[in-house]
Amino acid sequence: MVPRSWRPGAGILAALAVLLTACGGGATPAATGSAASTPATTATAASGGGGTTAIVGEYEEPDTLNPIGGPLMFFAQEVQEVLFRNLFVLNPDGSLAPDLAAEVPSATNGGISADGLTYDVHLRSGAKWTDGNPVSSQDVYMTYQLETNPSVKVASNLGWNDVASFTIVSPTEFKIILKKPDQPFLATVFTQTQPGIVPAAAFKGMSADQVNSSTFGHNPTITDGPYKFVSWQPGPSRRSRRSSSRSSPATTPC
**pLDDT at residue 5, rounded to an integer:** 36
Separation between Cα atoms, residue 249 and residue 17, nearest integer Å: 6
CA distance 108 to 177: 18
Q: What is the mean pLDDT of each run of 10 residues along the chain (254 residues)?
A: 35 47 43 32 42 52 81 73 90 93 97 97 95 97 96 90 97 98 94 84 95 91 86 61 38 32
Whether 123 and 137 have beta carbons less than 8 Å apart is answered as yes
| 115 phi, psi to nearest 5 deg | -85, 0
Segments of the chain assigned to CATH 3.90.76.10: 88-203
Q: Minimal CA–CA distance to 143: which of 93, 220, 201?
A: 201
* pLDDT tens-digit map of 35-68: 333 333 344 444 344 544 444 455 677 778 888 8
When the candidates are 1.10.510.10, 3.90.76.10, 3.40.50.1980, 1.10.10.10, the CATH number that belongs to 88-203 is 3.90.76.10
For residue range 87-107, what is the model confidence (pLDDT) as tens digits? Answer: 999 999 989 999 999 999 999
Question: 1 to each of 10, 34, 41, 161, how far by Cα in Å?
Answer: 12, 30, 20, 23
**Which ranges constitute the DSSP H helices of the chain?**
74-83, 137-147, 185-190, 200-203, 208-212, 238-241
